[in-house]
A and B are shown apart, each in its own frame.
Chain A
């Protein structure tokens, strides 16, 4: 089954304790992206990757890191989480290229992070 898998689904942590949210897709998609979703603000892009070893900042990258060592995986790293990073996080992937502008994003099931 084609899917994007995120782990964990729920995470409660304390300020400053490094954490990683994993994301894996089995559709051979070049494009992967991380979003955070907050009430009234919608989905905001944190980082994206056009392909292996190619990553770039989205609209709200501060406090986050990513890596793309393999095509299928795109982990999100919070080196020193703070309470303002409490949010619902989604990983997404899609095909890319000029012939793929109509390719929708496929989303993982989300990770609800609470930082106390």
Chain B
């Protein structure tokens, strides 16, 4: 079956580092995306991983292990504006180009 799991909520302190985990079981695999979604707004693209390893992009990094069906998003030097939901999504390997989303992790950054 298809399943993407991530924690429902996390809280972290401004300036700290937080890691948001995601595990997945999907029909085929053509890459894993992370999106950020502020309350009431559209999701926006953060990162894409298709090969094992770490991709770094400024304060945000994303890691993938295909053999474990596991990814994480690492946010460094947290800012208040990072308070948002973070969505893990997998692009399946079927011809339909389908993207499956996890339920999202709500991150609260406190002062």
- Known contacts A101-B31, A104-B45: does B87 contact A42 (CB below 8 Å)? yes
Which residues, 35 to 50 on A, are CB-close (under 8 Å) to B? 35, 40-45, 48, 50
Interface centre among A42, A50, A58, A106 (most CB of B within 10 A): A42
- Known contacts A56-B96, A58-B98, A109-B41: does B48 contact A104 (CB below 8 Å)? yes
Q: Is the Cβ of A31 less than 8 Å from the Cβ of B97?
A: yes
B72: interface (CB < 8 Å): no
Residues of B within 8 A of A107 (CB): 42-44
| Majority DSSP secondary structure for residues of A touching B | strand
Q: A109 to B8, alpha carbons, bound, how many Å?
A: 23
List 6 A-B residue pairs with CB atoms under 8 Å apart, sorted by A's residue number: A40-B8, A42-B87, A43-B43, A104-B35, A105-B35, A110-B40
